[in-house]
Amino acid sequence: MPYFRTQDGCSLYYETTGVERSRPVVVFLNGTLQTTMYWKVMASSLKPGFRTLLYDARGQGESELGAIPLSLDLHLVDLTALMRHLELSKVNLVGLSHGALLGYAMARLHPQRIDRLVLCSIGTRASIRSRLIVRSWLKIAESGGLAAMVDAAMPHVFGEAYLADHQKHLDRIAKTIVRRNREASIIAHLTALGRYPGLRSMLQPLNLPLLVMCGADDPLVSANGAAEVAEKSGGRHLVVKAAGHSIPAEAPELFLKTIRRFLGDRFSEMPEGF
């Protein structure tokens, strides 16, 4: 398994697909509790038109947490260093939730290195309810452990339709998420989130093709908040009906079709909503 060692000695796990260097590259950025496994089917489905890079950020999956306190700036340094290591001069970024925030910050810092940007489940105007939900995850993880935290998070990260359709498999899904993560790393991640800059303070025209997607049944991100990100950044906004926070998992065929069109030459033909 390939690993990249950062300047401070932290080992980051990554995977690549496709060897044709002339093909455009898509980098998938994990959300909280996600690992490279989340994107494998998507990455495989983009072949042969695209090369892909999947990686676990510090504290995720197979990557180490490292000794430096987590921060958005640190994740930016890691992503930039990994791209340099793999000799990726320009890429497309597809990020979900925390990965979407990282993708936005990357586009602000290094716009010349980003071709197109897809952001899922990200928005301004976080409600008191959503802030309390995320804060409760940290408290549950600290007091009850990772398994309890994942159980508490499930109703918030998946929409009602997905939960109903997968009711018999929810325990297995939760156990899989627990198995792919580490308690200390998740606590460090959730603690760091409280110190991140507010998304609204980061918004600016990005001057690159941008697609912001949100789920209509997402208790953590409002459609208005996602629309504000798109509007102030010069992008498109799409709302996915009956989906919650985990759009790629809840509507995989629609998500794949959408990003294929957007990353191709026909993104201007896309409808304004679903």
> Is residue 123 scored above 80 in pLDDT?
yes
What band does 125 get if pLDDT is binned at 50, 70 and 90?
confident
CA 158, CA 199: separation in Å to the nearest integer? 22
pLDDT at 272: 54
Mean pLDDT of the chain: 94
Q: Which of 11-20, 59-68, 188-197 shows the lowest mean pLDDT across its residues?
A: 11-20
The mean pLDDT of 95-122, rounded to a whole number, is 97
Residues 220, 197: contact at Cβ < 8 Å?
Answer: no
What percentage of the chain reaches a pLDDT higher than 90?
92
pLDDT at 196: 95
What band does 21 get if pLDDT is binned at 50, 70 and 90?
confident
What strands, in cross-sheet order, belong to the sheet with 25-29? 3-5, 11-17, 51-55, 25-29, 91-96, 114-120, 210-215, 236-240
CA 62, CA 194: separation in Å to the nearest integer? 24
pLDDT at 120: 98
Residue 88 CB contacts under 8 Å (≥ 6 apart), including other chains? 25, 27, 53
pLDDT at 22: 83
Residue ranges and CATH numbers for the domains of the chain are 3-269 (3.40.50.1820)
> 206, exposed or middle or buried, with CB in 10 Å at 0-12, 13-18, 19+?
middle
What band does 274 get if pLDDT is binned at 50, 70 and 90?
very low
The dihedral formed by the CA atoms of 87, 89, 95 and 98, expressed in degrees to the nearest 10:
70
pLDDT digits (tens, 9 = 90+) for 242-265: 999 999 999 999 999 999 999 986
* Overall pTM surpassing 0.85 (yes/no): yes
The mean pLDDT of 234-248, rounded to a whole number, is 97
Closest to 198 (Cα-Cα) out of 157, 233, 229, 156: 229
> Is residue 70 scored above 60 in pLDDT?
yes
> Is residue 223 scored above 70 in pLDDT?
yes
Q: What residues pair up with 117 in beta bridges, in sequence order?
A: 93, 210
The mean pLDDT of 5-17, rounded to a whole number, is 97
Query: Which amino acid, 2?
Result: P
> Is residue 211 scored above 60 in pLDDT?
yes
> Is residue 267 scored above 90 in pLDDT?
no
